[in-house]
């Protein structure tokens, strides 16, 4: 290892209190979800208050946004947890079903949360008789702040780190698993892939969506914003999987690169397998929107 950045001394817990023998802690991970959803809420409210952004009237009145937020929060939590259990550790959770609701132990999948939000948007739109494409678009617009903050929280939690690297911005993560790098002498520096994802999936993609909506009138073309979000996130995630350490359950002596699908000389990680259909779905929505 030629050079590396030491891991910052930031506790995953903002503070903790002990009451009646039980310890309660407020963690950066939970706050990232709360703040990200709150920012997204304000972004949706702002878009709904600007009729000029839409072709016709906005899909719902701002006063109904709180009801919609309830659907989204449930979709994120339930979808994210079930997605992790089914995509990443199905064998374990099929034999330990009582642990599926235990979200406080960790384990959330973005792609599962995405599917949960998709279902939440569909249910809300059908129950309230609003335009599905427009609701999906305004939701996609507001999704990136939470992605940005949650990935930073992943970094603080010392989880989802990248593969070993000798680049000067590699980070020496403190967990013993992160320092276990075969063939590396001394401390093991890794790609801070959480920060890569935060910057590209959150900041860059979010800026692109804001530009399309407020400068190019993307909300006037139903499904366009949703398509750009899906294709953009999937493309970035697929590429970053090359520097992101695969989950431990996919790695082994016969599969050191952690491929979920092995084609012999090459393979795909689980993140790439889930991103491919998302990318195709996003491109299809973009083409459909532009043709209309």
- pLDDT tens for the 292 residues of the chain, in order: 556 888 998 898 888 787 776 777 788 988 999 999 999 999 999 999 999 999 989 999 988 999 999 999 999 999 999 998 998 888 888 888 888 887 766 788 888 999 999 999 999 999 999 999 999 999 999 999 999 999 999 999 998 999 999 899 999 998 877 777 765 655 789 999 999 999 999 999 999 999 999 999 999 999 999 999 999 999 999 999 999 988 766 666 566 666 767 666 678 888 999 999 999 999 999 999 988 7
* C-alpha to C-alpha distance for 117 and 76, rounded to whole angstroms: 6
Q: Please tell me the total count of domains within the chain.
A: 1
Closest to 271 in 3D by CA, of 284, 258, 280, 262 = 258
Output the pLDDT for position 104: 67
User: ∠ at Cα 118 (154, 128), nearest 5°?
Assistant: 130
Q: What is the token pair recorded at 64?
A: 């109904």
Burial 240-269 (b: 16+ CB within 10 A, else e): bbebbbbbeeeeeeeeeebbbeeeeeebbb
Element (H, E) at 5: strand 5-6
Contact 190, 179 (CB under 8 A): no
Question: Residue 51 in 3-state DSSP?
Answer: helix
Predicted local distance difference test score (pLDDT) of residue 190 = 92
Nearest to 270 by CA among 255, 254, 285: 255
Phi then psi dihedrals of residue 96, to 5 deg: -130, 60
Token couple for 99: 């642990």
Residues contacting residue 88 through CB under 8 Å, at least 6 positions apart: 107, 109, 247, 249, 270
Q: Give the residue numbers spanning the domain of 260.
A: 5-291
CA 56 to chain centre: 32
Strand, helix or coil for residue 2: coil
- pTM summary value: 0.90
């Amino acid at each position: 290892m030629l050079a590396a950045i030491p891991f910052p001394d930031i506790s995953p817990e903002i503070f903790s209190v002990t009451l009646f023998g039980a310890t309660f802690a407020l963690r950066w991970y939970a706050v990232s979800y709360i703040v990200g959803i709150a920012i997204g809420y304000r972004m949706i409210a702002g878009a709904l208050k600007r009729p000029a952004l839409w072709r016709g009237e906005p899909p719902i009145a701002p006063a109904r946004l709180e009801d919609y937020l309830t659907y989204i929060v449930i979709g994120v939590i339930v979808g994210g947890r079930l997605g992790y259990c089914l995509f990443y550790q199905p064998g374990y959770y099929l034999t330990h079903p009582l642990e599926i609701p235990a979200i406080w132990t960790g384990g959330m999948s973005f792609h599962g949360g995405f599917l949960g939000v998709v279902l939440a948007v569909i249910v809300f739109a059908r129950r309230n008789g609003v335009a599905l494409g427009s609701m999906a678009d305004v939701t996609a617009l507001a999704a990136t702040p939470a992605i940005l903050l949650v990935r930073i929280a992943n970094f603080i939690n010392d989880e989802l780190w990248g593969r070993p690297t000798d680049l000067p911005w590699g980070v020496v993560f403190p967990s013993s698993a992160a320092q276990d790098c075969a063939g590396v002498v001394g401390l093991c520096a890794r790609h801070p892939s959480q920060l890569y994802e935060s910057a590209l999936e959150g900041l860059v993609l979010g800026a692109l969506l804001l530009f399309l909506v407020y400068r190019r009138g993307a909300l006037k073309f139903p499904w366009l914003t949703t398509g750009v979000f899906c294709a953009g996130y999937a493309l970035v995630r697929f590429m970053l999987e090359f520097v992101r350490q695969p989950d431990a359950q996919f790695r082994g002596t016969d599969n050191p690169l952690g491929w979920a699908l092995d084609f012999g000389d090459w393979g795909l990680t689980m993140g790439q397998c889930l991103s491919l259909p998302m990318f195709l779905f996003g491109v299809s929505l973009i083409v459909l929107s532009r043709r209309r």
